Amino acid sequence: MAKCFGGLGSKPRKKCSSSSSFRPLLCNCNLDGSVFSPLKGPARSIRDAPPAHYVLKILSFSALTKEYNSSVFEAGGYKWKLCIYPKGNKHEKGENHISIYLVMADSNSLALGWEVKASFRFSLFNQIHCNYLTAKVHGRHFNEIKKEWGFARFISLGSFRKYSNGYLVNDQCVFGVEVFDIIHDRHTWRGECLSLKKEFIRDSRYTWKITRFSQLGTDQCSSPETLIVEDYIWRISIFREGNGSAKGNNISLYLNLINHKVLPTGCKLNVSCYLRVVDQIHGMHQSHSGSEWFDDSKSSWGFKRFMPLIEFNNPEKGFLVNDTCIVEAKIAIIGKTNAFS
């Protein structure tokens, strides 16, 4: 005969039945007696058998103030976690309720294109009647985009805390979950995950002082030193007489990602870029800025017509002084995408 969890309350317990049969609730009502829609709320049942795969016993529920993820357990050859929001998942309008979720754990070990279809059942132990309130979920698809399923409003905090309901006794409670009807599938779609930085980002700076500028070749010339930003290597390059259609009329200036081939296929970097030619006399610098996406095939950002040669070569402008010019660059990585399938 199954035993109740001992010591959880001060009232006498009835003996647990050895039957594992379900006893469905016969009315569409919440645990506090209010009516709920079957389309919105979980279909609940009462049963005597404990959950088959994992039990989470909480000894001081009032001290649990934020989301809690259980240790990893295995079911059907996959690893899972049970996640509890003791005050409700506000992002899914679960305020004033217990929110509960089944989470696919360690998904990085799964093959590309993984998808798992599973049904599962959450349970909440009734410490007075020695049975379990359960809510079953049928056939949910877990994949790279959706790794967790459950209920934002599993049970209202009012019903949960009411002593006569038996779910919270002496500040202790027991949740559980079991996973079944697990089917491994493989999808054919592909996608990408975009991550953008919202906080202030300090840029990295590099100054290239070019002496004997007139002795540079007319083809592309690159800075002798590099700038490393988050393991990515950058160089400045200049065409002193212009590049392509700007040749003979402008200087052309670029930022180049040197090790762009290390980016995996489908990975892109969103970069805030800034280039400036310094006015060494008046401080009236010539600059351009913008943002660009770099990937394994896109490795440079800049301008063919960065500034007219007639302006750059004018000694009164201060851009070329004693055959020396100064170029500055600023770089900040503000976003990234990673491909998945």
Give residue 144's pLDDT.
78
Question: What are 297's two structure tokens?
Answer: 């095939």
pLDDT the model gives residue 80? 94
Q: What is the DSSP letter of 260?
A: G
Average pLDDT over residues 202-206: 89
Tokens of 85: 């929001």
- Over residues 74-85, the mean pLDDT reads 93
For residue 311, pLDDT over 80 is answered with yes
**Would the pLDDT of 94 be above 60?**
yes
Provide the pairing of β-strand 68-69 with 73-75.
Answer: unpaired
| pLDDT of 13 above 90 | no
Q: Is 310 exposed, middle or buried (0-12, 13-18, 19+ CB in 10 A)?
A: exposed
Average of pLDDT values for 318-339?
93
Residue 31 confidence (pLDDT) above 90 = no
In order, the DSSP letters of 72-116 are PEEETTEEEEEEEETT--GGGT-TTEEEEEEEE--GGGSPTTEEE
Can you give the pLDDT at residue 9? 41
pLDDT for 340 beyond 90: no
Domains (range + CATH), the chain: 22-186 (2.60.210.10), 194-340 (2.60.210.10)
Per the listing, tokens 């660009």 go with 292
- Cα–Cα distance for residue pair 98/105, rounded to 1 Å: 21
Residue 130 token pair: 């020695």
**Which among 276, 297, 274 has a CA at the least distance from the CA of 285?**
276
pLDDT of 5 above 70: no
pLDDT given at position 30:
42
Q: How confident is the model at residue 291 (pLDDT cuts 50, 70, 90)?
A: very high
Residue 3 has pLDDT above 70, yes or no: no
Confidence of residue 189 (pLDDT cuts 50, 70, 90): low
Residue 276 has pLDDT above 90, yes or no: yes
Lowest-confidence region among 24-28, 118-122, 191-195, 223-227: 24-28
Q: Which long-range contacts (CB under 8 A, 24 or more apart) does 83-92 make?
A: 83/148, 83/150, 84/56, 84/58, 84/175, 86/61, 87/157, 88/152, 88/153, 88/157, 89/152, 92/152
Asked whether 192 and 337 are in contact (CB, 8 A), the reply is yes
What's the average model confidence in pLDDT over 178-184? 88
CB 153 within 8 A of CB 44: no
- Give 58's pLDDT tier (boundaries 50, 70, 90): very high
Q: What is the mean pLDDT of the chain?
A: 85
Residue 222 has pLDDT above 50, yes or no: yes
Looking at residue 200, its pLDDT comes to 67
pLDDT score of 341 more than 60: no
pLDDT-derived band of residue 128, with 50, 70 and 90 as boundaries?
very high
Q: Do 97 and 167 touch, CB atoms closer than 8 A?
A: no
Pick the more confident residue, 256 or 202.
256
In tens, the pLDDT along 249-272 reads 999 999 999 998 888 877 899 999
Cα–Cα distance measured from residue 178 to residue 80, given in angstroms and rounded to the nearest whole number: 10
Both structure tokens of 285: 């610098």
Q: Residue 334 is encoded by which pair of tokens?
A: 């503000």
**Interval 65-89 mean pLDDT:** 93
